[in-house]
Structure 1
């Protein structure tokens, strides 16, 4: 396992048990973001880096009983917290690296990824792997329940021009990875970039 993976597992493993309690008001932001993805009943969607599974209930509501929701995360403790919260009823949980997904090519209609981009060790390569599992014309949603400036302030750091989530960086990164960015919102109350899998 790479040092990047070990760092991510240690960081989130240590915080898994109280993660939801630290951010108790994020539910409506998740629901609104999932609504903006435009999922339809019967769709197949991956929550990449699902953590404690906060997106799984709104994703399942969006795709309905005929749809499929899969939550993938690298950190066992996060998935355990998702199970304790009962969110495994809304999606199948996979302990796996989003850089090497055990899913067939073009088997999904969409990928929802909350807070994932900043933790990807090889962003272009990892976003290409997400593109691999999504059908042409499918959707990628990169979400965070607060915007870049608010998140930087919370973490006691400054925004830099190198920030991957800056629109000027994210658009070309997605384009190089098989995605075309279709919308970008970076507001205090949320960050949401949507992209379409190139045909």
Structure 2
């Protein structure tokens, strides 16, 4: 999911927002490709890894994820909006990944099966961000990595929509770091520049961090 608006969207609200925008999403942001590729590189994937693109939308990151894990690796893409997945198929990106209609808060994956999770523009669309992050921690192995990404930084994104950054922004480091920690992730690096927002975290251990 590739757009920033109000926190705490319901599943229906997310689908209602993205469905009419699915067809032309890439053309709205044609210069974002290099930022996606750089973020995938920073995720540190290795050949043979299994990676999930959570909220994959039209699949902008899928070719870069496939290149990183190689033909022996596994790339999964899930999204809540059927029109976005259909647009990913039309864009020719289904060959890079196995795509599924699924809610990030209830992933159809077994515990600890992933080496990494890539999530672009996702956290602000989660009705319960902590629950979503915990679910992504559940399916990641200990030491697995999480990239929370957006192709523009918080200030540039706010300016794009004609509003200031709000103190309640979940992606502000003082809010994001403890939220990740409570959800089974340790924030290792944080970048918030005009050309990129990228928070890289590591799955802390094999135990349920909330149980």
**Normalised-by-shorter TM-score class:** over 0.9
In the other structure, the counterpart of 1:85 is 91
Instruction: Give structure 1 stretches of 5+ with no counterpart.
Output: none
In the other structure, the counterpart of 2:20 is 14
Task: Give distance in 1, aligned partners of 2:20 and 2:138.
Answer: 31
Task: For 1:130-141, list aligned pairs within 5 A.
Answer: 130-141=136-147
- The TM-score normalised by the length of structure 2 is 0.93
1:32 CA drift (Å)? 0.4
Number of corresponding residues: 198
Task: For 1:1-199, list aligned pairs within 5 A.
Answer: 4-199=10-205
Task: Give distance in 2, aligned partners of 1:156 and 1:13.
Answer: 23
Question: Which has the higher relative contact order, 1 or 2, with Cα contacts under 8 A spaced 6 or more apart?
Answer: 2
Instruction: Give structure 2 stretches of 5+ with no counterpart.
Output: 1-7, 206-211
Q: Which has the higher mean CA deviation after the structures are superposed, 151-160 or 84-93?
A: 151-160
Deviations 1:85-121 (A, max 9, x none): 1100000001000000000100000000000011010
- The TM-score normalised by the length of structure 1 is 0.98
Task: Give distance in 2, aligned partners of 1:151 and 1:40.
Answer: 31
1:3 CA drift (Å)? 7.0
